[in-house]
Amino acid sequence: MSTWGADVRLARQLVSGSDRREWWRITLVAAGAALATGFALAAVTLASVPDGYTVSVFHGLLNEGGTRYGVIAGLLLLLVPVLAFLGQCTRIGAVHRDRRLAALRLAGATPWQVRRIAALETGLACLAGSAVATVFSVLLLLRLWTGPTALTWAGTALVTVGVPVSGAVAGAVALRRVVASPMGWLRRVGPDSGRGPGLLFLGGLILLIAVAPLAASGSGGAGNLVDWRTPLTVFLLVVALGAGSVWLAGATARLTGRLLSPRARTAAPLLAAERLRDDPWGPARTHAAVLVVTVAGTAFLGIRHAMLTELRAREGRLGADLAYYTTGLDLTGAALLVALAITLTGLAVGTAESLANRRRTLAAQVAAGVPRTVLNRALLMETALPLAPALLLACAGGLAVGVWYSSLQGDGSLPWTALLVAPAVYAACLLAAATALPLLGRSVRPGELRYV
């Protein structure tokens, strides 16, 4: 039996001896860990700021507890697409390490030991990204805040350690259904039934029902140590919404594949439909993040329009400068753009992972005479077909939220830009998926047929 110390040393040696393709995976994992650490450290720091302390940035938006904890909630929400991106990167590692996993099995390692070593590799990459983000965050903190509290340092240490541990756990979960044979000619991945998103959705709803009454009852105490309830409620709401979106994206992909498969008249739609019918839950995780961002972005444009209209009408009677309010709106818009960029990156990574998973099948199709152009169109249709109806539904939900809020503030009007969110996101998703097309040329090389 291998000890944990020996597994850590072996994981470190495997990381240091990685090839160029592995270093791409490690870099993406480290970047995701750095983003998660930065957002979490910012939230922890703001939560530990004492009442009455003056923050010199963002026009005083962080000086009051209510607006400060709104910013904390936004930072926690940004963790959702980052964690999804991290999970996507760890699944890429499961594909690119086939021969390494087989070599470990041939040397006598059990399947659990192989998964544990691979998870430790992910943890080491997360540790590197977390350490870099922590150093820059601490330097920025010491520049803006002359006297950080003990609670701030404790939270910083907890986040710095917690992100690598979470990354290692995510790596183990991503490999839980992977079994590689000792000789390396078989790699089996169990099917995804879609029960996970349903259970996560129910769990998020149960926690939300338990926490929401506490948040609605107010702080109920002194100081800022109990104001965690409102940000936690919003975070749980987004988790439940994200899990429901995963289920919606997977169900839409499966339904699209079933409807299109018997009606396809050309090769590309047929290949895309069969792929969606066989594995509808594969791209659902990244598609769900796209749906959540679309709902939030569409609703935000309606809310922003209503708030700016009201603020300009009352500009001379406001309790603070107009910049105080517009800064909050600008930060919200910037957070949504960051979430969209992370989501699109995750979509591109997920498409590349799908190609790597199917490289032998794709090579066999090309060897059988399927043109590359057909495979290119089929790859894009795998993203385009199930995403179109789901985005329309997400846009309708966001417009409904925007109209509802605007009707409370005024005439219920919406800016015309809200109607462009869904088409813009759809086009961006197709462009992100198209970035994986150059990888298709490397995946269909005849050499891949040696491992069929």
The string of pLDDT tens digits covering residues 393-439 is 888 888 887 887 777 766 667 788 888 888 999 999 999 988 888 87
Residue 188's pLDDT is 47
> φ, ψ for residue 179 (rounded to 5)?
-130, 115
Predicted pLDDT at 47: 82
At residue 224 the predicted structure's pLDDT band, cuts being 50, 70 and 90, is: very low
The residue that leads in pLDDT, 451 or 260, is 260
Output 130 or 50, whichever has higher pLDDT: 130
Calpha distance 410→403 (Å, rounded): 10
Residue 392 tokens, joined: 């329309």
3-state secondary structure of 187: strand
Specify the DSSP element, H or E, that contains 123: helix 111-144
Predicted local confidence at residue 393, as pLDDT: 81
Q: What is the pTM of this model?
A: 0.76
Higher pLDDT, 253 or 57: 253
In this structure, the strands spanning 187-189 and 178-180 are antiparallel
Give the tokens for residue 241: 């919404």
Domain parsing of the chain, residue ranges: 1-190, 193-452
For residue 172, what are the contacts with CB-CB under 8 A and spacing of at least 6?
A: 115, 116, 118, 119
Residue 362's pLDDT is what?
A: 80
**pLDDT-above-70 percentage for the chain:** 68
pLDDT above 60 (res 184): no
Q: What's the rounded Cα separation, in Å, for the pair 429 and 388?
A: 10
CB contact at 8 A, 47 and 72 = yes
For 254-269, the pLDDT digits (tens) are 888 888 878 878 888 8
Q: pLDDT at position 426, please?
A: 92
